[in-house]
Amino acid sequence: MARERKEQLRGNVASAIRDQIMARTVSPGDILRLGQLAEQLGVSQTPVREALLLLSQDGWVRHEPNRGFRVAAIRRKDVEDTYLMWSTAEGEIAARAATRATARDVDYLREIDRRIRDADPEDGHLATELNSSLHHYVSVIADAPKLDWFARAASRLVPLQFPENFHVVPGWSEVNRTQHGPIIDALAAGEVDTARERTAAHFRGTGNLLMRWLDSLDFWGDPDMPQAPRGPGRLAG
């Protein structure tokens, strides 16, 4: 129980720091100081340091020996790569779900989709919560924990988190209302390839919407210099 609380605190602190980066409260190149963040967030420095190490693994900050943690630039090509991997993982999850979905599973997904379509267009938060619930349940059906891990890891690298903000992206509401039905149809029919293709296309499409919107906001900072690989080179496949 104590370990779970510690991990939850670290995750909450990481989320709060990520929000500051997204809101441009801190800018690329800024040094993040442990004491200052700990005071702002009302925690000790230990969970702050653990959260910053976690964020450094995900590319949000850079850990510089003897200097601390520096905010990394969010590079457009990195987000493109993230969506490439995310859409691939989600497509495979849907393909797996197409081999396992029961009639009850399909009915439950159709009910969530109906609630999405019937939701008040002004209630973007409800729409994003329902969207997350739908995709989460597809993962439950698939029972593919490693694929789910890759999908969740990719979602942490996206410059807007679904439950909080994605509804503000122009065009996303229409995608959310119209593109789940065909995916559910493929799951219901057990059409593995179709489920994979439609789901991957769905995630690629939402990624394109996000990229165009961030382009319009002049969101991207100066790109970081490419970093040389660390450690042994990748083994040839």
What are the per-10-residue average pLDDT scores of the chain (237 residues)? 80 86 82 93 93 88 88 88 95 98 98 94 83 96 96 81 64 92 98 98 94 84 47 39
What are the extents of the domains in the chain? 2-71, 76-216
Q: Calculate ∠ Cα 93-97-101, nearest 5°.
A: 165
pTM for this predicted structure: 0.74
The closest alpha carbon to 197, from 208, 207, 187, belongs to: 187
Is the CB of residue 128 less than 8 Å from the CB of residue 164? yes
Is the CB of residue 13 less than 8 Å from the CB of residue 47? yes
The pLDDT value recorded for residue 237 is 36
The pLDDT value recorded for residue 229 is 42
Is the CB of residue 94 less than 8 Å from the CB of residue 203? no
For residue 114, the one-letter residue type is R
Alpha carbon distance 106, 77 (integer Å): 36
The pLDDT value recorded for residue 98 is 98
The pLDDT value recorded for residue 10 is 87
The pLDDT value recorded for residue 27 is 85
The pLDDT value recorded for residue 156 is 78
Looking at CATH, the fold of the domain delimited by 2-71 is given as Arc Repressor Mutant, subunit A (1.10.10)
Looking at CATH, the fold of the domain delimited by 76-216 is given as Four Helix Bundle (Hemerythrin (Met), subunit A) (1.20.120)
The pLDDT value recorded for residue 160 is 62
Alpha carbon distance 79, 74 (integer Å): 8
The pLDDT value recorded for residue 153 is 87
Count other C-beta atoms under 10 Å from residue 67's C-beta.
9
